[in-house]
Structure 1
Amino acid sequence: MANSKFEYVKQFEQPDQLLPNTWIVVRIDGRGFTKFSAKYSWEKPNDKRALDLMNAAARAVVTDLPDITIAYGVSDEFSFVLHKTCTLFERRASKLVSTIVSTFTGHYIYLWSTYFPDMLLSPPLPSFDGRAVCYPSLQNLRDYMSWRQVDCHVNNLYNTTFWTLIQLGGMDTTEAEKTLNGTFSADKNEILFSKFSINYNNEPEIFKKGSVVFRDYELVEPGTHNVAVEVDNIAEPVQQSKSQLENDKKKRAKARIVVEHLDIIKDDFWDRRPWLLSNKPGKTPKQP
C-alpha cells in the first residue's frame, strides 16, 4: 500500500551502484564444488563433461543477456564482462550479480542431464556465488582476463602432473604433493615427459587455455581498427537513438555465440575482434 506507515523500511535500502564509465566484470564461482565433484566422481584432473556443462550454461547467459560482451571460464568459475557504457539495471551491483548468478545456475541445472545423462542430480544442488568488480581502463580489463588465463595454465599444469603421479606413478596424495613442492613449470613438464612420455603441449586446449564465449562476427585485419584508444577516451556513454539501439539489438540476436579455447593474452585475439571492445556489432559472417 502506497504511503503506508510501514513504508519507512525502504530507508534501510542502501544504494549499490557501480562506478560509471568502467568495465564491469561479474565473476561467479561454484560453491563447495570440491565435495560436489567428488559426489559425482568426476574425472581428475579434468572432467570434459563438467567443463562442457559450464560452457553451455555460460553460452546461455550470454544469449539471454546481450549486454555481456565476452565471458571467460575455467574449472567452476566464469567471468562475464559488461562494456563500460552498459547501463543495465542502472549499474546496480546487486541486480547485475543476482541476475547473472541465477540465470547461470538455472541453465546449469536444466542442462545437467544433457552432459550427465546417467547421473541423477540430487540435493545438495549446485549453486554459485558472485561478485562485481569495476575496472576503469581497458588495460585493467585486459590484465584481468590475462590473469585468469595464466591462472588456468598454472593450475592445470600442476593438477595434470599431480594426478599423473597418482594415477600412473602409484603415489598417494602426500607423496605427490611432496614431489611437486618447490617445482617450476619446466620441472613439471620434465616430470610428465621423462617419466610418463606425456607432452603437456599436446593436452586439449580447453584444459590449458580455458573457454572464451563471445558473439562471432567477421574477423578484421589487425591494425585496421584502433578501438583501444577510442574506448578509453569515452568520457560518458554515447547516447544512441531508439532506431540505432534496435538495429544493434537485431544484429546481436543474429550473431552466432561461440565457445572457443584461444589465447586471450596476446593482442591478436582482440585486434581481430574489435566488437568485443567497441560494443558495436560487427559484420555477420557470410554463409559458406
Structure 2
Amino acid sequence: MQLYRSPIVQLLKRSAKLLCQERGLRIPGGMACSRFEYVKSFEQGDDVLQNVWIVIRLDGKGFHKFSKVHDFDKPNDANALNLMNIAAVAVMEEFRDIILAYGQSDEYSFVFRKETNVFNRRASKLLSYVTSLFTSSYVYNWMHCMSKKTLLYPPCFDGRIVLYPSDQNLRDYLSWRQADVHINNLYNTAFWNLVLKSGLTNQEAETELRGTFSADKNELLFTKFGINYNNLPAMFRKGTILLRKRVKIENSLNRQLIVDLHNDMIRDKFWKDHTELLGKYKPGDYVCELENISTVLKHQIDKLNTNEKQENIECCS
C-alpha cells in the first residue's frame, strides 16, 4: 500500500491546485492561486539609490485658502505651527530612521539616514506612508492645538522625494529651506502689519513693499510699528527643527523624545553641536527645566503619562 500512497497524494495536490486556479481561490500558506496574478508583472520597481540621504518634503495644498477659511492669526499662528510640529513628531515616532525634520509655514522636510532600508527603500511606499500619516495626524490633533476653531474641511498635503548624495548637499538643502523662512516671514510680517495696523489694502501693502530689501523692511517695522524683527519668536524667524534627544527634566524624566529647536542651521555651529547627525548616529542629551517645556515636548510627555495610566489600569483589571 505504501507504494501507491505518494503518487496518489501528489495527484490530489495537483488536482486541488488546478481547481484553485480555475476558481480564483487561495491555497494553504497564503500563496495566491489565480490566473489573474500575472498583472503583478506590470508593477515597476522604484527603489531609491543606496547610500544617499533621502529627503521627503511635504507641502500644504491650497493652504492660503485653508488658513483664511480657518482664520489663522497673521502673520504667524503659533497654534497652527505647533499643530504642524506635532504631526511631524508622529511621523518621526513611526520611522526611527528619520534623524531630523524641519518645518516652516505649511511645509515639512524629513531626512532619512543614508543606510535606511525602510520598505526596502521603495520610493512610492515611503512617500505615500509619510504623506498619509502626516495628514491624518494633522487632522487627529486639530482639536488639541486649535480647540477654539472647528475644522471645516480636510487639509491636503502633497509630497516629493529628493536624494542628496553628500553631507554638504544635505546641509545646503536645509540651509535653503531656512533662508526661505527668513525671506518669507520678514515680508509677511511687514505686509500684515501694514494691512492690520495701518489699514492698507492688500494691494496697497504690496505696492509699498515692492522693490524693498531686508534692511528696508526691518526699518519699516521698527519706525512705523516699534517692532524689532530680531526679537520676534525664533519659531517664526527660523522655523522648527525636530531632533531625537535623551531628554532630562530635573528629577522627573530621563528618556528619549523628540525635541523642537529653533536654531540656525546655516552656520557650522549647529552641526558641531549635533555631531550625531552626520556621524555615527547616537542621540545626545537635552536638559531643560520643568517650566520651560515646549508645546511639542509637553504633548509627548502627556501622551506617555496617558499610556502609562492605561497600562496600569489594564494590569490591575
TM range (shorter): 0.7 to 0.9
CA distance in 2, matches of 1:118, 1:284: 36
Amino acid at match of 2:188: N
Instruction: Provide, for residues 229-271 of structure 1, a one-character-per-residue CA deviation record: whole Å limited to 9, x for no partner.
Output: xxxxxxxxxxxxxxxxxxxxxxxx9422101111111111111
Which residue pairs with 1:210 in the alignment? 239
Pick the aligned partner of 2:138 from 86, 103, 108. Answer: 108
Which residue pairs with 1:8 in the alignment? 38
1:120 to partner: Cα distance: 2.2
Matches within 5 A, 1:126-137: 126-137=155-166
Q: Would the alpha carbon gap of residues 19 and 198 (structure 1) be closer, same or farther in structure 2, given more than 3 Å must change?
A: same
Do residues 277 (structure 1) and 285 (structure 2) align? no
Pick the aligned partner of 2:97 from 55, 59, 67. Answer: 67
Amino acid at match of 2:257: R
Q: Would the alpha carbon gap of residues 166 and 286 (structure 1) be closer, same or farther in structure 2, given more than 3 Å must change?
A: closer
Pick the aligned partner of 1:171 from 174, 184, 200. Answer: 200
The size of the alignment, in residue pairs, is 253
Matches within 5 A, 1:1-288: 1=26, 2-123=32-153, 125-217=154-246, 254-284=255-285
CA distance in 1, matches of 2:288, 2:156: 39
CA distance in 2, matches of 1:179, 1:286: 45
Q: Which has the higher contact order (CA 8 A, sep 6+)?
A: 1
TM-score by length of 1: 0.83
Consecutive unaligned residues of structure 1, counting only runs of 5 or more, are 219-252
1:165 to partner: Cα distance: 0.8
Indicate conservation of the 8 Å contact 1:69/1:279, yes or no: no
Amino acid at match of 1:84: K
Indicate conservation of the 8 Å contact 1:105/1:128, yes or no: yes
RMSD: 1.8
CA distance in 2, matches of 1:99, 1:275: 26
Indicate conservation of the 8 Å contact 2:276/2:284, yes or no: no
Q: Who wins on radius of gyration, i.e. which is larger?
A: 2
Q: Would the alpha carbon gap of residues 176 and 283 (structure 1) be closer, same or farther in structure 2, given more than 3 Å must change?
A: closer
Consecutive unaligned residues of structure 2, counting only runs of 5 or more, are 1-25, 27-31, 248-253, 290-317
SS of the residue 1:113 aligns to: helix
1:197 to partner: Cα distance: 1.6
Runs (4+) of structure 1 exceeding 3 A deviation are 282-288
TM-score by length of 2: 0.76
